[in-house]
Amino acid sequence: MHVHILGICGTFMGSLALLARDLGHKVTGSDTNIYPPMSTQLERAGVVIQEGYAASHLQPAPDLVIVGNAMKRGIEAVEYMLDAGLAYTSGPQFLSEHVLQYRHVLAVAGTHGKTTTTTMLAWVLHYCGIDTGFLIGGVPLVDSDNEKLTQAFSHSSYLGSDKNDQGERGYFVIEADEYDSAFFDKRSKFVHYRPRTAILNNLEFDHADIFKDLDAIQTQFHHMIRMIPSSGQIIMPGHTPSLEATIEKGCWTPIWRTEITEPDNLQGTVDCVWKAELIEEDGSRFLIHYHDDEQTQMLTGEVHWGMSGRHNIENAMVAVAAAYDIGIGVEQACAALSKFSGIKRRMELIADVEYKSGNSTSKVQVFDDFAHHPTAITTTLDGAKKKLKAAKIWAIIEPRSNTMKLGVHKDNLAASAQLADEVIWYEPSGLEWGLSEVIGNVDNINNRQYVMNDTQKIIDHLLSKLGQTGKDDAVIIMSNGGFEGIHQRLITALNT
């Protein structure tokens, strides 16, 4: 079957394209935003991508058009598809019908941490010998001498086995996004997935372009919860009012709750049966404990890895719990996570440069991070500050998401970045509200924050300031898009 994907370079659709290819289909696609890492991944896999959305891309007619949720009425290819009566479906629907209905689905939902947690869980299962399929909204970082692991995680999706060792249905780990499915299906993507094991990472207001308020998002989460069988498992952090309010709408599935405890208060909250105990403040080393009323002994494992931040500890806990739900021991899962390298664009170190400024030379590290929400910005910087204690932290931020462009979170932006030593906000053309006004009117910000509307000026400013304090510098570039290639342009300039 020839499948053509409209919007193929989106994180979900690109991953889906690889699964369709592995199912044996011929896969082609169209997009206007063709940039790494997804474009590189698809090209490496032999998927032909065409620029734009011309009607000619659907000639001769493919057997099926998979329509990305960025597609709208009025786009040439969409209008041609409808007028010609071509067969079409949404990405989530295709995935449900061709892959997920045959599997035990482990879904990771939430406003933040979905991609990282999904990758963690898939990694744990593979490391422990389970040939699970997965779909991740990002590209994993692979650092393993295990050829089988390296092959599975060389792309953002993997078909895996549809049967486990006992001949029962196999497993599939999926990033369960709450964004809508397509212009003709306004349900959240995850409603199609019907998980048996569901992680609810957190829940905040986001996607203001399609959701009126938080309650509208909670309704979609509730729709997914209604589909989880009573023999399934829900895993979520304790002390999260927005999630508890969603559960109160109706739940028929057992729940495990998690929390991070202090070393002198391991008991924590009684109803949180999964607990993490810090060993290192930056989150690079910690214990995970599991104990419920049916156990006489607490189960414990230690994670010692290269990642940092409390948010990643929380991600690790729910991943270990989900793995335990399908039979992987706590100690075994923690050992697997200790070998976990992370994923691209989540505090990914992309350059470590000896930079000469005047008569002094200092080390400049450049990180690429996907943070695009005030909470994500704060947690990323918190982890960076604790891990990179000796460095001056620079945050370069592009408010690019649809919610950011609408100005929904504008009053929280400056405060979200206050853990950085210096911040540069990029104000793109067409932004409907003024970044300068927002940043300039916030009180009690303990750092220096700038607004610039030209990426070359940002690079020039950095080059003039890096290495001036006698400390090393860490430049964290935060955007959920290509950011005009600023990452590599800065690295090139530092090396010149």
Please tell me the predicted confidence (pLDDT) of residue 383: 83
In this prediction, residue 203 carries a pLDDT of 86
Q: What does the pLDDT average to over 236-248? A: 93
| CA separation for the pair 52, 181 (Å, rounded) | 21
The count of structural domains within the chain is 3
> Is residue 466 helix, strand or coil?
coil
Q: Is residue 487 part of a domain?
A: yes
The tokens describing 183, both together, are: 């212009």
**Residue 232 above 70 pLDDT?**
yes
Higher-pLDDT residue of 159 and 152 is: 159
Whether residue 55 lies inside any domain: the answer is yes
The percentage of the chain sitting over the pLDDT mark of 70, rounded to a whole number, equals 91
Q: How far, in Å, CA of 273 to CA of 291, rounded?
A: 5
Q: Are strands 197-200 and 48-51 parallel, antiparallel or unpaired?
A: unpaired
Across 73-82, 101-110, 260-269, 422-431, least confident range: 260-269
Mean pLDDT of 421-432: 81
Domain region containing 313? 99-337
pLDDT of residue 155: 83
Q: Which residues lie closer than 8 Å to 202 by C-beta, 6 or more apart? A: 110, 111, 112, 113, 237, 240, 242, 243
Q: Do the Cβ atoms of 338 and 348 come closer than 8 Å?
A: no
Residue given tokens 């011309």 in the structure block: 54
Distances (CA, A) of 361 to 390, 432, 464: 16, 41, 13
Q: Is the model's pLDDT at 444 over the cut of 50?
A: no
CB distance 383 to 347 below 8 Å? yes
Cα separation values, 244 from 221, 233, 334, Å: 11, 15, 27
CA distance 474 to 354: 12
The rounded distance, in Å, linking the Cα atoms of 400 and 483 is 9
167 and 228 together in one domain? yes
- 1-26 mean pLDDT: 94
| Domain boundary pick from 307, 337, 367 | 337
Q: How confident is the model at residue 336 (pLDDT cuts 50, 70, 90)?
A: very high
The answer to whether residues 361 and 431 belong to one domain is: yes
Residues 6-10 have a mean pLDDT of 93
The answer, yes or no, to whether residue 403 has pLDDT greater than 60, is no
- Token pair for residue 466? 């890096």
Average model confidence (pLDDT) for the chain? 87
Residues 311 and 316: their CA atoms lie apart, in Å, by 9
- Look up tokens 């109803």; give the residue: 271
The CATH number covering residue 64 comes to 3.40.50.720
The CATH number of residue 472's host domain is 3.90.190.20
- Which among 84, 46, 43 has a CA at the least distance from the CA of 65? 84
The three-state DSSP-derived secondary structure of 277-307 is EECCCCCCEEEEEECCCCCCCCEEEEEECCC
Per-residue pLDDT at 445 exceeds 80: no
Output the pLDDT for position 408: 63
Q: How does residue 321 score in pLDDT terms, banded at 50, 70 and 90?
A: very high
**Is omega for the bond preceding 374 within 30 degrees of 0, making it cis?**
no
- Are both 11 and 73 inside the same structural domain? yes
Question: Is 464 inside a domain boundary?
Answer: yes
List, as one string, the DSSP characters of 411-460.
Answer: GGHHHHTTTSSEEEEE--TT-SS-HHHHHHT--S--SEEEEES-HHHHHH
User: Is residue 66 located within the same domain as residue 177?
Assistant: no
Phi-psi region of 24 (alpha: psi -120 to 50; beta: other; left: phi over 0): left
Residue 475 has pLDDT above 60, yes or no: yes
Cα–Cα distance measured from residue 376 to residue 378, given in angstroms and rounded to the nearest whole number: 5
pLDDT given at position 263 = 62
Q: Pick the range with the lowest mean pLDDT from 88-97, 241-250, 314-323, 478-487.
A: 478-487
Same domain, 327 and 204: yes
| pLDDT at 453 > cutoff 80 | yes
pLDDT, mean of residues 28-40? 84
pLDDT > 90: what percent of the chain?
53
Residue 443's pLDDT band (cuts 50, 70, 90): very low
Length of the chain: 496
- Please give the C-alpha separations between residue 480 and each of 141, 246, 280, in angstroms, as whole numbers: 18, 28, 30
**More confident position, 153 or 176:** 176
Helix crossing, 310-325 with 374-387: angle to 10°?
100
**Structure token pair of residue 24:** 């044996």
Output the pLDDT for position 341. Answer: 79
For residues 304-329, give the mean pLDDT. 93
Question: pLDDT at position 372, please?
Answer: 67
Q: Are 286 and 308 contacting, i.e. CB atoms less than 8 angstroms apart?
A: no
CB-CB contact of 170 with 161 (8 Å):
yes
- Asked if residue 343 is part of any domain, the answer here is no
7-21, 148-162, 192-206: range with lowest mean pLDDT = 148-162
Is position 460 within any domain?
yes
Is the model's pLDDT at 447 over the cut of 60?
no
Answer yes or no: are the C-beta atoms of 345 and 369 closer than 8 Å. Answer: yes
Q: Which residues contact 388 (CB under 8 A, 6 or more apart)?
A: 365, 472, 474
Say whether both 237 and 284 belong to one domain: yes
More confident residue, 35 or 90: 90
The segment with the largest mean pLDDT, out of 26-40, 228-242, 348-362, 363-377, is 228-242
Higher-pLDDT residue of 38 and 367 is 367
Question: Could you give the angle at the alpha carbon of 96 between the alpha carbons of 171 and 246, nearest 5°?
Answer: 85
Instruction: Identify the band that residue 185 occupies on the pLDDT scale cut at 50, 70 and 90.
Output: very high
Residue 469 binned pLDDT confidence (cut-offs 50, 70, 90):
confident
**Which one is predicted more confidently, 431 or 31?**
31
Residue 193: CB atoms within 10 Å: 25
Q: Which of 288, 316, 337 is at the close of a domain?
A: 337
Lowest mean pLDDT among 116-125, 298-307, 479-488: 479-488
Name the DSSP class of 120: H
C-alpha distances out from residue 281 to 220, 302, 384, 417, 473, Å: 36, 15, 12, 20, 21
Has residue 370 been placed in a domain?
Answer: yes
Q: Are residue 121 and residue 150 in the same domain, yes or no?
A: yes
End position of a domain, from candidates 90, 118, 153: 90
| C-alpha distance across the termini of the chain, in Å | 49
Q: CA separation (Å) from 400 to 182, 214, 327, 404, 484? A: 21, 20, 41, 6, 12
Residue 377 reports pLDDT greater than 60: yes
Provide the β-strand partners of residue 5.
Answer: 29, 66
Query: Is residue 103 located within the same domain as residue 210?
Result: yes
Q: Provide the pLDDT for residue 25.
A: 95
Can you read off the two tokens belonging to residue 47? 């998927």
What is the structure's pLDDT at 441?
46
pLDDT at 208: 66
Residues 168 and 293 in one domain: yes
Mean pLDDT of 414-429: 86
Torsional sign, CA 442, 470, 483, 372? negative
Statement to judge: residues 286 and 333 lie in one domain: yes
- Residue 386: pLDDT band by 50, 70, 90 thresholds? confident
Instruction: Evaluate whether residue 48 is within a structural domain.
Output: yes
Distance, CA of 372 to CA of 48 (rounded, Å)? 30
Q: Are residues 207 and 307 in the same domain?
A: yes
Query: pLDDT of 265-284, one tens digit each?
Result: 656 566 899 999 999 888 88
Q: Are residues 41 and 189 in the same domain?
A: no
Identify the pLDDT of residue 442.
46
What are the two backbone dihedrals, phi and then psi, of residue 355, each rounded to the nearest 5 degrees?
A: -105, 125
In this structure, how many other beta carbons lie within 10 angstroms of the beta carbon of residue 70?
17
Does 342 fall in a domain? Answer: no
